[in-house]
């Protein structure tokens, strides 16, 4: 099958042919989500202090997005497809670290990081390029480490973006019903005065 051959060719290219000492140090760092925890904690604190109630909605929205994306990738798609990881099949695969026993398709790393990035891009459009470059780098790291095929990462990216869009749309609608200051999107000037004491009467939604 053409796609399967292309998948293996790209895996060999990224995992073997493009291997360098520099990437051998960089890629495990990108792939190790534990190293991102201090940054995540600082980001949560920053959002809560700067955005107040809206910041709390953002944090909860991202958390819900991650729950949905993790469940969809790990509990649904991985179990349905059951693809074996390349590091268990090919002797030529250069494995850095360990080879997980869980199914390969899709990449949960890619699913979760693209879900998170997409949620933030929908809020902060000016950060679109650096955030998606970061997400793509994490996805590439999974191929470089030999634990995923390129198609696993691409599918994870699409699944993550879809989860983010679904959760974002739901949170956007629900947050507007919570009252002033709770809206996921920044409120336009004059919105609060237009609503009056009974809420969002003049807002047509969307």
Q: Which domain holds residue 78?
A: 2-184
Mean pLDDT, rounded, for 184-206: 53
In this structure, is residue 108 part of a structural domain? yes
- Tens-digit pLDDT profile for residues 117-142: 999 999 999 999 999 999 999 999 99
In this structure, is residue 191 part of a structural domain? no
Structural domain count, the chain: 1
More confident residue, 96 or 75: 75
CA 129 remoteness from chain centre: 14
Q: Tokens for 10?
A: 């790209």
Give 189's pLDDT tier (boundaries 50, 70, 90).
low
- Tens-digit pLDDT profile for residues 87-96: 999 999 999 8
Q: Which of 17, 13, 12 is nearest to 90 (CA)?
A: 12
In this structure, is residue 204 part of a structural domain? no
In this structure, is residue 174 part of a structural domain? yes
Are the C-beta atoms of residues 148 and 119 closer than 8 Å to each other? no
In this structure, is residue 152 part of a structural domain? yes
pLDDT at residue 184 is higher than 70: yes
CB neighbour class for 115 (10 Å; exposed up to 12, middle 13-18, buried from 19): buried
Q: Which of 49, 70, 89 is nearest to 58 (CA)?
A: 49
In this structure, is residue 32 part of a structural domain? yes
- List the alpha helices (DSSP H) in the chain: 2-12, 21-31, 37-51, 53-70, 78-81, 108-123, 128-144, 150-176, 191-195
In this structure, is residue 94 part of a structural domain? yes
- List the alpha helices (DSSP H) in 32-72: 37-51, 53-70
Please tell me the predicted confidence (pLDDT) of residue 196: 47
pLDDT at residue 191 is higher than 80: no
Give the count of alpha carbons within 13 A of 34, CB side only.
1
- Tens-digit pLDDT profile for residues 21-32: 999 999 999 999
pLDDT at residue 43 is higher than 70: yes
In this structure, is residue 190 part of a structural domain? no
More confident residue, 55 or 178: 55
| CATH number of the domain enclosing 178 | 1.20.144
pLDDT at residue 159 is higher than 70: yes
pLDDT at residue 199 is higher than 80: no
Please tell me the predicted confidence (pLDDT) of residue 138: 97
């Amino acid at each position: 099958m053409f796609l399967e051959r292309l998948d293996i060719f790209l895996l060999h290219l990224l995992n073997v042919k493009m291997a360098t000492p520099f990437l051998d140090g960089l890629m495990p760092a990108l792939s190790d989500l534990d190293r991102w925890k201090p940054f995540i904690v600082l980001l949560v604190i920053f959002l809560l202090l700067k955005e107040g109630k809206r910041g709390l909605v953002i944090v909860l929205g991202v958390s819900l997005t991650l729950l949905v994306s993790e469940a969809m990738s790990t509990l649904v798609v991985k179990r349905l497809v059951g693809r074996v990881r390349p590091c268990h099949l090919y002797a030529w695969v250069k494995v850095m670290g360990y080879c997980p026993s869980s199914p390969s398709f899709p990449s949960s790393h890619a699913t979760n990081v693209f879900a998170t990035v997409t949620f933030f891009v929908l809020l902060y459009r000016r950060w679109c390029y650096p955030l998606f470059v970061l997400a793509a780098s994490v996805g590439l790291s999974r191929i470089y480490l030999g634990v995923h095929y390129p198609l696993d990462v691409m599918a994870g990216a699409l699944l993550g973006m879809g989860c983010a869009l679904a959760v974002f749309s739901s949170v956007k609608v629900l947050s507007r019903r919570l009252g002033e200051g709770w809206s996921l999107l920044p409120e336009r000037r004059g919105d609060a005065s237009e609503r009056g004491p009974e809420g969002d009467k003049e807002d047509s939604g969307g």
